[in-house]
């Protein structure tokens, strides 16, 4: 069975995208579906390469039982846009930068479109306080649950397993 590969992308890969990666991995593991996915995160900028996620992302993840301290920021590579099945950008500015890198890529989409089906941007909480991180955690949680349900169920039905994700 082919694993679904998903890359979460934000600007610096220290706030939104590492939190999305951690939340998704946690949900997939808790659902018994972790082996059906390959996930990662990256940023359109390289300012924080090699660094841990922002301390506030780490704190909000930890408050919800998720450990993202092992992640390290990295910049999106052109190969990522070719290799991942789905590249989920947190906002429209990220979409524009990704499409400038790979104009013909059909796998680049807005997290708010694909996961939330609202078309909303996931706002960058970097310059705000803890409440912004709680807000994005809630939106990412909602979207990641939907993604695991959708792609986990799709993969299960392809393999003949019709059991529920939850």
- Does a structural domain hold residue 118? yes
- Does a structural domain hold residue 43? yes
pLDDT band at residue 154 under the 50/70/90 scheme: low
- Does a structural domain hold residue 134? yes
pLDDT > 90: percent of the chain? 90
Q: What is the pLDDT of residue 66?
A: 98
Q: What is the pLDDT of residue 109?
A: 98
Q: Which residues in the chain belong to E strands, given as ranges?
A: 4-10, 37-43, 86-89, 108-110
pTM: 0.92
- Does a structural domain hold residue 165? no
Q: What is the pLDDT of residue 158?
A: 36
Q: Which residues in 56-101 belong to E strands, given as ranges?
A: 86-89
Q: How much is the average pLDDT of 57-86?
A: 98
Q: For the domain that residue 46 is a member of, what is the CATH number? A: 3.40.50.2300
- Domain of residue 64 covers 4-158
Q: How far apart are CA 18 and CA 150, in angstroms?
A: 21
For the chain, what is the mean pLDDT? 92
> Residues 122, 133: contact at Cβ < 8 Å?
no
pLDDT band at residue 150 under the 50/70/90 scheme: very high
- Does a structural domain hold residue 72? yes
Number of domains forming the structure of the chain: 1
Q: How far apart are CA 41 and CA 89, in angstroms?
A: 10
pLDDT > 70: percent of the chain? 92
**Is the pLDDT reported for residue 160 higher than 70?**
no
- Does a structural domain hold residue 78? yes
Helix (H) or strand (E) holding 63: helix 55-63
Q: How much is the average pLDDT of 146-166?
A: 59
- Does a structural domain hold residue 129? yes
> pLDDT by residue (tens digit) across 1-41?
689 999 999 999 999 999 999 999 999 999 999 999 999 99
Active site residues: 10, 16, 124
> pLDDT by residue (tens digit) across 93-104?
999 999 999 999
Q: How much is the average pLDDT of 129-157?
A: 89
């Amino acid at each position: 069975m082919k694993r679904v590969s998903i890359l979460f992308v934000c600007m610096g890969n220290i706030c939104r995208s590492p939190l999305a990666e951690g939340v998704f991995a946690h949900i997939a593991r808790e659902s018994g579906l972790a082996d059906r996915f390959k996930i990662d995160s990256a940023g359109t900028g390289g300012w924080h390469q090699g660094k841990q996620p922002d301390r506030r992302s780490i704190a909000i993840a930890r408050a919800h039982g998720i450990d993202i301290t092992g992640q390290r920021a990295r910049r999106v590579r052109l190969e990522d846009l070719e290799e991942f099945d789905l590249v989920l950008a947190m906002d429209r500015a990220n979409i524009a930068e990704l499409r400038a890198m790979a104009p013909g890529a059909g796998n680049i989409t807005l997290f708010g479109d694909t996961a939330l089906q609202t078309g909303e941007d996931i706002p960058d909480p970097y310059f705000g306080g803890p409440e912004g991180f709680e807000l994005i955690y809630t939106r990412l949680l909602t979207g990641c649950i939907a993604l695991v349900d959708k792609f986990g169920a799709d993969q299960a039905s392809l393999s003949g397993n019709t059991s529920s994700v939850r």
